[in-house]
Structure 1
Amino acid sequence: MTLKQAISLVLLACPPANVAMPAQATTLEEAVAAAMDHAPEIEAARADADAADARIREARGQGLPSATLSGMIGYGRLDPQGFFGLPAANVTPRAAQLTIEQPLYTGGRVSAGIAQARAGSKAARAGETMTRSQIVVATVQAYGEVLTTHRMVALYEQMVAQMEEIQRQARLRFKAGESPNTDVAQAAARLAEAQAALEGARSFAVSAQARFANLTGLTPQDLQPIPASPALPATLDEALDSARANNPALAQAEAALDAARAGARGARAERLPTIGAFAEGATVRDQFFPDYRSDAATFGVRARWQLFSGGRVSARITESDSAVKAADARVRVARAAVDEQTISAFQGVRSASLVETAATQQALAAAQARDSIRHEVRVGMRPQLDLLDAEREATAAAVNEAKAHSDRIVAAHRLLALIGR
């Protein structure tokens, strides 16, 4: 099997069988949009958020009226043993009861439950946002890696071709007695090095394309060049303010603290009584003697106050207070981490931009130097080893330039993920 056939098989195996494979993803924006639609992680995060919203409705329901209907029916024989002169008879005992209850006072249990559910929903939504940001960064990185490895393969193919030509010319000159066998050996060594680099680049290309296909469900064909960086904060202070207000990981930690505080209020509410209004209606037939009939209707107020719980309530309060302390500490840790990561990412964007500029200049200078040395070697002004070194340096500089383009856009999107944009 050839390498091209292996690449094709890998790419065909990566996307799910039920996903339609578009012909190409031409831009980075299209690739990101495809990843948003394709990623099962986002679907799972969205489902978690929907479940958290449902828990809010469930918590609200604890304070609303409830209606319960219960009933039974059977068949048997009842023998009163002559009591009241009643004979034995076959009976069909049956009963039904309808109860309606409305909580009037719960000591804060319901409001604490609603607050806890709302905090859980906020945490789930922040988790969904964080998942989306992670998918965006991963897609941008995969997109850049596909372009970078494609460029690497092309560069190393050119390098192999150049080394083969240099080796051929070295052999001709050696046969003509114009150069030593050392030139031939050096050319062969550099050719082998270039061939190894080419195979490594092809292997990286297969992995990059498989990663891209897995993230987006698209075949990585004819990808457009890396675009300009998206709009970013102009200053570090602006980036920090945005991260502190919008970072999803920090939002999750703060929501967890809100939930812990609500849980603590709910635990303390267990010490207080509950009061509720009720109305009941019941009907009974054939239960105590044949043809027995009874109907009843009752309404009133019920109260319940647990005076002794064996320490369970106090233990729960202690546990909830500890959970609040732990959640508060995690918020402080998250804030410090967000500040650190934002500072690093902001500096990373600037460094990536400077590295890209320097890499472009280096690639241009290395290519010019290689072309000059190629002419000088041709006229005998420089040894062949200089040309071998120049070819290698020019190729390495061009590879670094391709990587720098990708690193710049990835750094930008990492910063955007941190500041919640």
Structure 2
Amino acid sequence: MSKSRRAKLLAAVCSVGLMAALASPVAAESLLDALTLAYQTNPTLQEQRANLRALDENVVQAKTGIRPTASLSADVARQQTVFGSLTQTSIFSPTKIRSQEGSSSGATISFTQPLYTGGRVSSAIDAAQADILAGRESLRGVEAGVLFSVIQAYVDVRRDQERLKISQDNVAVLQRQLDESQARFDVGEITRTDVAQAQARLAAAQAGLSSAQAQLAISRASYAAVVGQNPTDLEAEPSLDNLLPTTIEAAFDAAEKYNPQILAADYTEQASRARVAQAKAATRPTVALRGSVGWSDSESGNNPPFDDFDRASSASIVTTIPLFTGGLTSSQIRQQQERSNADRLAIEVARREVLKNVAQAWNGLQGQRALLISNEEQVKAARIAFEGVRQEAQVGLRTTLDVLNAEQELRNAELSLVSARHDEYVAAALLLQAMGSLEARYLTPDVPRYDPTRNAKRVNKAWGGTPWDGLILAADRILAPGIAPAPADAPMATSK
């Protein structure tokens, strides 16, 4: 991390910089601005997009199983042979008679064109395509998680800014109350006990102010981590009511159709069924066209390499029939079948988990809405009570402690109201995430969206293959083991 980048993040937790940010006039920042910046620059989201682009290559790699391959090999060698004899008197000194030198060279170009793989390649392509679809749903899940983190960080900062303001007002009010108590004590209207009570409340309020400043610094740091910049003057967050369902049944229906966790599990199960077919295809024969053209030269003496060549060429259709693998193929088939069973059960696991999350989020939202209404009424009543007690204290009908208690009840009610508004908004966003509707297309409709299909189209067009790819792929499915249909109780993936 660069020093300038580190300094920007450290500024989020600096109390002096915090107070300056609150006091200085800066351009207001909206939740839409934060969501847009995170959608375009968040490293977690960028990482998942890169992983998906890497996954796109699996289809390209699977298709190479029906495409021709070619290789070139060449060699140049030189030999020297020495002839000699040994005498009885010079065992270790052979007498050199003559030497002979020679060279050899050659080159071979070979190629292979698969004609039929028994369904191995077609099943691998089906599995790779299902993996990509599952990866796209995983990307949707990561996107929803990032957007939820942005929303939570945004409302956390706004909540803590309101808390800080309430704490500052509380300290100011209690300071004035202390000054008034001290003045009344000086003229003998109240006792020293009343002054001490005001001092104690002011000290507690100052401690609360320090805590509010620290909490806001923590929230600012979290905001900077997920959004990519420090928060400035944040506008009020927009309502999410237009995206929320009116009944819990509608929320359940939306979750079963669009939640990325369920859809990813379904695509993963489709991929595992394709891999079962791929394992069974290992029992089928394969047919391939093979050919080679070679040049060779072998001469004695000092002829240079590659001087005079003999050429040879061959072409053949090779059929390979598996006969016995020592139980390997049958074991792999059973293994893939059990993995497919596990993935099928994982769909139900995901469905139950999602429905549980939707039920919890829905009821949590209803509870927060009821709490918000109660807190609003509480603030209204506490404000009226505080004003009444203060006026009564001025004519001697209330004590200083009564005023302090009424003021404390008002501040607590205001803090509860701020927290209730925060929690209600977070609960709404959590329900949208559980439903699978917390997406940039709804929250930032005017921002260009990342298209996960664009890279897939690009890599598939990088090398278009041969004109006969389609024919070979169609032939590969003949007599190939079919993909077992999905169980009747397994939900089918539905694109949004």
Instruction: Give the TM-score, by structure 1 length.
Output: 0.88
1:284 alignment partner in structure 2: 296
Give distance in 2, aligned partners of 1:293 and 1:101: 24
Write the distance in 1 (CA, Å) between the matches of 2:408 and 2:182: 20
Deviations 1:380-400 (A, max 9, x none): 112222211111111111122
Q: Pairwise mapping of residues 389-404 of structure 1 onto structure 2 (< 5 A)?
A: 389-404=405-420
Q: CA deviation at 1:79?
A: 8.4
280-289 or 36-45, which deviates more: 280-289
Whether the 8 Å CA contact 1:140–1:410 is kept in 2: the answer is: yes
Residue 3 of structure 1 is matched in structure 2 by none
What's the counterpart of residue 225 of structure 1?
236
Give the aligned partner of residue 50 of structure 1: 53
Aligned to 1:19: none
- Taking the aligned partners of 1:164 and 1:7, their CA distance within structure 2 comes to 35
Counterpart of 1:236 in structure 2 is 248
State the distance in 2 between where 1:374 and 1:9 align. 43
CA distance in 1 between counterparts of 2:235 and 2:313 reads 77
2:78 corresponds to 1:75: yes
User: Which amino acid counterpart does residue 42 of structure 2 have in structure 1?
Assistant: A
User: Counterpart amino acid of 1:203?
Assistant: A
2:282 & 2:81 partners in 1: Cα distance? 47
Does residue 258 in structure 1 map to residue 270 in structure 2? yes
Q: Offset of 1:24 from its aligned partner?
A: 5.2
2:100 corresponds to which of 81, 88, 96:
88
Deviations 1:285-342 (A, max 9, x none): 2279987743122112112233222222222222212211221222111000111111
Counterpart code for 1:231: L
Distance 1:52 1:25, change over 3 A: farther
> 1:29 and 1:239 mapped to 2: Cα distance?
24
CA contact 2:13–2:218 (8 Å) conserved in 1: no
Number of equivalences: 401
Which of 356, 363, 366 lines up with 1:350 in the alignment?
Answer: 366
* 2-structure distance, mates of 1:202, 1:292: 89
- 1:161 corresponds in structure 2 to 172
Q: Which residue of 2 aligns with 1:18?
A: none
CA offsets 1:111-134 (integer angstroms, 9 cap, x no match) = 221122112211211111111111
Distance 2:161 2:295 in 1: 81
User: Per-residue deviation at 1:35?
Assistant: 0.9
How much has 1:218 moved relative to structure 2? 2.4
Q: Is the 8 A contact 1:349 1:408 kept in 2?
A: yes
Specify the code of the residue in structure 2 equivalent to 1:74.
Answer: A
**Distance in structure 1 (CA, Å) of the matches to 2:124 and 2:76:** 38
Measured after TM superposition, the shift of residue 185 of structure 1 is 2.5
Deviations 1:318-368 (A, max 9, x none): 221221122122211100011111122223333333332332222222222
- Residue of 321, 328, 334 corresponding to 1:312: 328
The answer to whether the 8 Å contact 2:37/2:227 transfers is yes
Cα RMSD after superposing both structures: 2.5
Mapped contact 1:25–1:219 kept (Cα < 8 A)? no
Does residue 126 of the first structure (1) align with residue 137 of the second (2)? yes
In the other structure, the counterpart of 2:482 is none
State yes or no: 1:104 paired with 2:115.
yes
Instruction: Supply the distance in 1 between the matched residues of 2:28 and 2:293 (Cα, whole angstroms).
Output: 67
Partner of 1:84: none
In the aligned structure 2, how far is the partner of 1:304 from the partner of 1:11?
67
Counterpart in 1 of 2:425? 409
Q: Is the Cα–Cα contact under 8 Å of residues 102 and 299 in structure 2 kept in the other structure?
A: no
Structure 2 residue aligned with 1:31: 34
Aligned residue number for residue 158 of structure 2: 147
Q: Give the whole-Å Cα distance in 2 for the aligned partners of 1:155 and 1:53.
A: 53
Partners of 1:140 and 1:287 in 2: CA distance = 80
**Paired letter, 1:161:** A
8 Å CA contact 1:226, 1:405 repeated in 2? no
Counterparts in 2 of 1:189 and 1:240: CA distance versus 1, 3 Å: same
Whole-Å Cα distance in 1 between the matches of residues 49 and 391 of structure 2?
62
Secondary structure at the residue paired with 1:228?
coil
SS in 2 for 1:326: helix
**How many Å separate the matches in 2 of 1:170 and 1:41?**
56
SS at structure 1 position matched to 2:243: coil
Structure 1 residues 297 and 78: alpha-carbon distance in aligned structure 2, compared to 1, 3 A threshold = farther
Q: Residue by residue, what CA displacement relative to the aligned partner does 1:389-415 show, whole Å, maximum 9, x if unpaired?
A: 111111111122222222222222222
Q: Indicate the SS of the match to 1:286.
A: strand
Aligned to 2:11: 10
Moved more, 199-208 or 319-328: 319-328
Match of 1:274 among 273, 276, 286: 286
For structure 1, which runs of at least 5 residues remain unmatched after alignment? 1-5, 14-22, 82-86
1:41 maps to 2:53: no
Using the alignment, how far apart are the partners of 1:7 and 1:95 within structure 2? 65
Q: Is this contact kept in 1: 2:127–2:272, CA < 8 A?
A: yes
Within 1, Cα distance between the matches of 2:195 and 2:170? 17
Give TM-score, length-normalised by structure 2: 0.75
Q: 1:25–1:220: 8 Å Cα contact kept in structure 2?
A: no
3-state DSSP class of the match of 1:96?
A: strand
Q: After the TM superposition, which segments of 4 or more aligned residues of structure 1 sit over 6 Å from their partners?
A: 78-81, 287-292
> How far did 1:271 drift?
2.0
Instruction: Deviation per CA, 1:41-90: give whole Å up to 9, x if none.
Output: 11110011111111111111112222222222333347899xxxxx9343
Q: Percent identity?
A: 30
Asked if the contact 1:70–1:97 (Cα under 8 Å) also holds between the matched residues in 2, the reply is: yes
1:175 and 2:186 are equivalent in the alignment: yes
Structure 1 242/8 Cα, relative in aligned 2: closer, same or farther at 3 Å? closer
Matches of 1:78 and 1:31, distance apart in 2: 80
User: What one-letter code is carried by the residue in structure 2 that aligns with 1:28?
Assistant: L
Higher alpha-carbon deviation: 298-307 or 331-340 = 298-307
Q: Distance in 1 between matches of 2:326 and 2:57?
A: 34
Do the aligned partners of residues 226 and 365 (structure 1) sit closer, same or farther apart at CA in structure 2, a change above 3 Å counting? farther
Report if the CA contact (8 A) 1:25-1:218 is conserved.
Answer: no
Tell me, yes or no, if the aligned pair for 1:275 and 1:304 is still in contact at 8 Å.
yes
- 1:148 to partner: Cα distance: 0.8
Question: 1:123, 1:252 within 8 Å by CA — same for their partners in 2?
Answer: yes
Given residue 61 of structure 1, which amino acid in structure 2 is its aligned partner?
Answer: T
